[in-house]
């Protein structure tokens, strides 16, 4: 039987690309960390933010940054927080652990809380628990003056309600965070942008059957666009089906350039600047 073999495409030629979302502590990447980071650098990706999804991966994200930051010149940052899938694991002790890490944010290069939010697609934690844990972490983000990474899937109305409630109480930063891997409609994205959010674009923007995300890109102002991989997931075309890694964020940059009729290096420059602004990196 013949077996169709494809080699991944590693586009080179860009510089100063910022992958704002890559789970580099994931087992599929961790064993090959040095090579993954070298391939990123070769493709011009020199800055990566490593997000967490529970207490354990918050520590793993911090550890990964401690171990690999500066490797061949790469600049690494991380976030800590509890994903809606993991909301059931959240208790007072978890909260204190997160607050303790954020208290040392300079040392650990922690730039955000996240991923936090609601996910009614998988419903891996009860919805009322998800909402409670989302609210608690939103409050921490506000009180500790740190942006957050929003994960929202099939829970748009409840997410908006909770965000609006925080805003009405005056408990939301002017630049609150990023709608990571935005799957909502252009109409909802517009509401988030008006609230000060950035919009994260990744692999799905490149998927041929995706009609929704290009519409979000169309209404998204240049100064709110972030690029991300969500490595090891959501691998962009033409590498779809393979393990995702930060080098492939350049495929998202190229897709944005193509859809917007812009120069890819200019897209790289702008999205980097946006990431620096949101995550307050000097
Ligand atoms: Ni993620």
Write the DSSP string, 21-55. -B-TTSHHHHTTHHHHHHHHHHTTEEEEEE--SSH
Range of the domain at 246: 79-278
Cα 81 to ligand 1 centroid, rounded to whole Å: 11
Residue 235 lies in a domain: yes
Residue 266 lies in a domain: yes
Q: Determine the pLDDT at residue 2.
A: 47
Do the Cβ atoms of 178 and 141 come closer than 8 Å?
no
Do the Cβ atoms of 243 and 235 come closer than 8 Å?
yes
Residue 21 lies in a domain: no
**Rounded distance between C-alpha atoms, residue 9 and residue 239, angstroms:** 7
**Rounded distance between C-alpha atoms, residue 123 and residue 130, angstroms:** 9
Give the residue from 74, 45, 34, 8 showing the smallest Cα distance to 227: 45
Residue 15 lies in a domain: no
Cα 87 to ligand 1 centroid, rounded to whole Å: 15
Q: Determine the pLDDT at residue 183.
A: 87
Cα 20 to ligand 1 centroid, rounded to whole Å: 10
Give, as one character, the DSSP assignment of residue 196.
T
State the CATH number of the domain containing residue 242.
3.20.20.140
Cα 187 to ligand 1 centroid, rounded to whole Å: 23
Residue 43 lies in a domain: no
Residue positions counted in the chain = 282
The number of folded domains in the chain is 1
Grouped pLDDT means (10 residues each) for the chain, 282 residues: 74 97 97 97 98 97 98 98 95 97 98 97 94 98 98 95 97 97 93 98 96 96 98 97 97 98 98 98 94
Residue 246 lies in a domain: yes
Cα 54 to ligand 1 centroid, rounded to whole Å: 11
Cα 206 to ligand 1 centroid, rounded to whole Å: 17
pTM over 0.75? The answer is yes
**Rounded distance between C-alpha atoms, residue 248 and residue 244, angstroms:** 7
Residue 53 lies in a domain: no
Residue 225 lies in a domain: yes
């Amino acid at each position: 039987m013949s077996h169709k073999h494809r080699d991944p495409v590693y586009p080179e030629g860009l510089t100063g690309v910022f992958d704002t979302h890559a789970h580099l502590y994931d087992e599929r990447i961790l064993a090959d960390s040095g090579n993954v980071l070298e391939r990123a650098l070769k493709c011009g990706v020199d800055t990566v933010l490593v997000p967490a999804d529970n207490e354990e991966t918050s520590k793993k994200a911090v550890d990964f940054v401690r171990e690999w930051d500066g490797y061949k010149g790469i600049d690494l940052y991380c976030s800590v927080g509890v994903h809606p899938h993991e909301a059931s694991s959240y208790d007072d002790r978890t909260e204190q652990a997160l607050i303790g890490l954020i208290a040392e944010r300079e040392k650990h290069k922690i730039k955000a809380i996240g991923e936090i939010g609601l996910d009614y697609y998988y419903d891996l934690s009860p919805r009322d628990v998800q909402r409670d844990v989302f609210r608690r972490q939103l409050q921490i983000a506000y009180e500790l003056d740190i942006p957050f990474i929003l994960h929202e899937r099939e829970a748009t109305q409840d997410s908006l309600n909770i965000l609006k409630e925080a805003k009405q109480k005056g408990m939301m930063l002017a630049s609150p965070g990023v709608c990571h891997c935005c799957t909502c409609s252009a109409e909802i994205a517009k509401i988030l942008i008006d609230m000060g959010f950035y919009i994260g674009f990744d692999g799905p923007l490149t998927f041929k059957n995706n009609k929704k995300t290009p519409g979000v890109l169309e209404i998204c102002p240049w100064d709110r666009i972030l690029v991300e991989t969500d490595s090891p997931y959501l691998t962009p075309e033409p590498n779809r089906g393979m393990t995702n890694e930060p080098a492939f964020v350049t495929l998202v940059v190229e897709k944005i350039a193509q859809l917007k009729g812009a120069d890819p290096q200019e897209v790289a420059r702008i999205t980097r600047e946006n990431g620096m602004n949101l995550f307050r990196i000097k």
